[in-house]
Structure formats: structure tokens, C-alpha cells
Structure 1
Amino acid sequence: MDKKRKINESFNENVENIVEGKNPVIEALRSETTVEKVYIAKGSSQEGPVKLIYALAKEKRVPVIEVDRKKLDDMSTIKAHQGVIAVISPYKYSTVDDILNYAKEKGEDPFVIILDEIEDPHNLGSIIRSANVFGAHGVIILKRRSALVTPTVIKASAGAAMHTRVAKVTNLTQTIKELKERGLWIIGTDMDGEVSFQSNLKGPIGLVIGSEGKGISRLVKENCDIIVKIPMRGDVNSLNASVAAGIIMYEVVRQRGI
């Protein structure tokens, strides 16, 4: 077995445990994630973001290894490493209890994003990024029929996935029922709903975002307390799932007066 093949096999064993790109790696180093090592392209040590990566890695005692860019190309799964790749411990998912407890620790009404079969990793990453920006306490996804947190998702989230609690559940309908029992008001999103800014989105909220093609599934929709929509005025009558999620999240924050 030649040396190149050995390298590739070693990297392939850990493709789910790498973070690619300058900003995602910086956020990984700033988060509670365990970063095992960082690979930097030779000749890039004087770049501003790379200097920060060196400083953060030194602070957390994470080894930094300078390698040829070709080696980073071989490691990369999304082909957008920007000369920086970090190897992390397996992504640690949270639980629904973790998310609700985090809201309690902050003294805030729970604000939870519930994703119904979001399969596009770029959409998932963007939604996690918006959830973090707008102060949501966590994101709930399905264990199956859903994108999981991968290097692509971490990159698409600009590193926000390293700071955001993401819980995997087996049955979304059952989870929604349990959240309702714990006092959350479940808001679904669908074009058949009432206009979002005319609805009361205050208090403990679970915001359900449907899949890219089918929207919210029937059972999930039936278990929502209300359904809201974003008013459309143009020639196109639909929005990308992550864009729609961001708009509704902002409305929740606006009504909370934060």
C-alpha cells in the first residue's frame, strides 16, 4: 500500500470529525468542542485569521501542523478548506432537556427551532446560523430523513453549529407533544397559515420549519397550535427553507422586544 493511499484511508475514517475553513475553525476553537489538532497550509501563517487560529490553538494547547496544501485537498470533504482544517472529537449532540435547561439558565422563555425533514446540509447549516444569531436556545432534528451535523453543515453555519445545541429525536410528533406538555406554544409554518406579524409569537415557542419540498408533514401540522405564513408580494410564491426560517425567527425576536 503506497503512502498516499494510507493517508487517504486515515482521513476517510474521520471525515465526520473535521472542520474546514478559517471562520469555522476559529469558532470551533472558541467553543467547548474538543479540537484535537489543526492543519495549516504552509506559507499562510502571516494571514490575519490564521494568526488568530495559532493564538487560539496555543491558548487551548492544540497542536498546529503545517502541511502542503495538497494534503489539505486530500483531507477536505467539501473542497473549501481555505488552507485550514481542524480535527475535532465527534460532534456532541444535545438533548431536548439540554435545550430547555439552557433557556432556564438564561432566565428566558424557551425558543426552540424544530426541523421537519430538512435534508439539504446547506439549509441546515444556514438555519443553525440564524438560530444562533436570533438567540434560539437550540435546534431539534430527526435522526433519520434529515441532514445531520457534518463538515458541510458546520461550514454552511459559519461555525455556529459549534455554539448551538442540536438535539436528534426519533419521533418529531411525540417530541412536539412533550414540548407542549412543558408549556411551549408550537408554531408551524405553511402558506395556509395566518400572517406571521399578525400572530402572537411571544412566550415559550417551538417553531416548526418544514422540508424543502413537502413542507410540514400532516401529523406534525395537526399537532401545531397555530400555523403562520410569510406574506408574498412578488411573482414567486415560495422561499428557501432557511430564508423562511430566518424571517420567522426575526419576527419572534421582534415581538419579544429583544
Structure 2
Amino acid sequence: MSRPPAGKDRGRRPPPPRHPPKEETPFRRPAADVVVLYGAHAVREALIAGRRKLLALYATENAAERIAPLAAAAGLTPKIVEARALSQRLGEESVHQGLMLEACPLPEADIADIEPKSGLVLVLDQVTDPHNVGAILRTAAAFAVDALIVTERHSPDFTGVLAKAASGALEHVTIVSVVNLARALEQLAERDFLIVGLDSEGPQPLEASPLRKPLALVLGAEGKGLRRLTRERCDILARLDMPGPIKSLNVSNACAAALMALRLRLG
């Protein structure tokens, strides 16, 4: 029997075809100094406000057309990606509306940087839910609040879900992060701020309290409320009187109701 010629295939299966290497993800690698914003309002306001350094804008074809003028004004060219790629990057539950922006964090601010234009400041005592803080930021921007003060610990990151919930307000409200909230309240008092703690067990209704500007409204976490040291630094503890059968509100809703009461009372 003749043998196959040397060097020829002796009946072995040919090796499977080699697949081309997968393209690297178009997005930057997550880093501590990179903030991710997504959704039409959050991205739009970041492009307009110009308060932070912008790194890269990713958009679907349709979204890129809508955002093109603002992107060009901000010096960015959208990188076209599939909606599926954004969902994979941000999470399937994210409502990104075809837009994602990578940017640097906002400049850090201190209590001394607060300019009392409206004479109202919000202080959050360990409110940790990003949806609530985002909604509070949106309300703060609507009422032209001068600043939002939060604690470095037990506060959510000001990016992603929070920025989406804030609907662009993140770019318009000065945010001050402090290590010691009790000390921060003392600093506000030294600047002649009236410190008002919102407490469901407060001895008097907010609208009946002796109020004046500048005023710092302090809100506690749901369930826990204001901590002892925080309460001790307040000049007034006041409550929101609810006429209906439910006597308490979600902290973001309570914030909106309180700001409206203060606006009606103080102008």
C-alpha cells in the first residue's frame, strides 16, 4: 500500500479557523478620578455648565445628532456606540437615553466658599440613598439653594444613579463635603446662619417657628433621623404638620415641602 507523500495531510482534520481578536471596549477604565454621568439631562447640563473637565462623550447615532451642538461647544466629538454597549457598561436597569459622559469630579468646595445669595443651605445628616440625594439636589436647584452640605462618610457618590436622579442639578448646586458635621454646623453658626433641624417630633411646626435668613435646614436619614450631636447643634427643631392620615414623608419629599414653606414664610 502506498504511503501519502511526505508533508501532506494524512487525514487529520484541519485546525479551526482563528477568530479575529475582540475589539477593546470603547470606554475608559473605571478610575477614582473619573465620574460617569448618563441620561439626557445630566449630560446636557454638564456640557452647558462647564464646571468640570470633560473627558469623553459616548452616544448612540440618534442621541449624537441631538447633542452635537452642545458637544461641539464644549469641545467634544461624540464617540458612536450601540445602546446595548451603554447598557452593558452602566447596567441593564440604567435609563441612559443613549448618552454617557466621562468627566472629572466637580471642584471641591468649603463652607467658606458658600455665597449666601438665597440665604438657604441644605445639610444632610448621613442620607445615603442616591435616589433621595439626587432628588434633593434637583429640588435644591429649583429653589436656588446656595449649597448642599454632606458628610464624607455615609453619603453616596455624586455620579451615576445620583446624577441621573438629580436631572442636571448636580452642575448647579455647590456641594460641600465635610468630615465632622457637628463642627460644620458650628461654622455655619459663626457665619450667622440659623440652624433648623427638621424632626417629625419637633416641638413646633416649621411655618410657626421664629425663622430668618441665612438659614441652614438640616435633614436626617430616613428611619434614624437626626443624630444626637446634630440635634444639639440646631437652634430650632421643627416638624412638618401633615393634615392627612400619613404623618411622615420620604426625606426628599420632606425637603421639597420644607423649602416651599420657607419660601412662603421668608420670601
Q: TM-score, normalised by structure 1?
A: 0.87
The percent identity for this pair of structures is: 30
SS of residue paired to 1:250: helix
**Which residues in structure 2 correspond to 1:132-211 (within 5 Å)?**
132-193=141-202, 194-211=204-221
> Partner residue of 1:96?
111
> Partner residue of 1:63?
77
Distance 1:15 1:39, change over 3 A: farther
Query: Which of residues 223, 229, 240 in structure 2 aligns to 1:230?
Result: 240
- Post-superposition CA distance 1:142-164 (Å, at most 9, x none): 00012231211111100101111
Q: Distance in 2 between matches of 1:71 and 1:15?
A: 22
SS of residue paired to 1:12: coil
Whether the 8 Å contact between 2:118 and 2:145 is mirrored in structure 1 is: no
Q: Distance in 2 between matches of 1:235 and 1:93?
A: 43
Cα distance, 1:246 vs structure 2: 1.0
Q: Does 1:23 align with 2:33?
A: no
Deviation larger for 28-37 or 177-186? 28-37
Cα distance, 1:182 vs structure 2: 1.3
Query: Which of residues 73, 77, 97 in structure 2 aligns to 1:82?
Result: 97
Output the amino acid matched with 1:228: A
Cα distance, 1:10 vs structure 2: 4.1
> Partner residue of 2:9?
none
Q: Distance in 1 between matches of 2:87 and 2:63?
A: 15
Q: Rg bigger for which structure? A: 2
Q: Distance in 1 between matches of 2:154 and 2:252?
A: 17
Cα distance, 1:249 vs structure 2: 1.2
Q: Distance in 2 between matches of 1:153 and 1:118?
A: 12
- Post-superposition CA distance 1:55-98 (Å, at most 9, x none): 11111211211111222122215622111111111233321111
Cα distance, 1:173 vs structure 2: 0.6
Cα distance, 1:16 vs structure 2: 5.4
Deviation larger for 25-34 or 86-95? 86-95
Matched residue count: 244
**What do you get for the CA RMSD once the two structures are aligned?**
2.0
Q: Does 1:246 align with 2:256?
A: yes
Whether the 8 Å contact between 1:186 and 1:225 is mirrored in structure 2 is: yes
Q: Distance in 1 between matches of 2:183 and 2:212?
A: 23
Q: Gapped runs of 5+ residues in structure 2?
A: 1-20
Q: Distance in 1 between matches of 2:39 and 2:118?
A: 34
> Partner residue of 1:218?
228
Distance 1:196 1:34, change over 3 A: same
- Post-superposition CA distance 1:196-218 (Å, at most 9, x none): 11123321101100011200011
> Partner residue of 2:56?
37
Q: Distance in 2 between matches of 1:3 and 1:14?
A: 26
Q: Decide which structure has greater helix share.
A: 1
Deviation larger for 209-218 or 34-43? 34-43
Q: Gapped runs of 5+ residues in structure 1?
A: none
Whether the 8 Å contact between 1:42 and 1:69 is mirrored in structure 2 is: no
Q: TM-score, normalised by structure 2?
A: 0.85
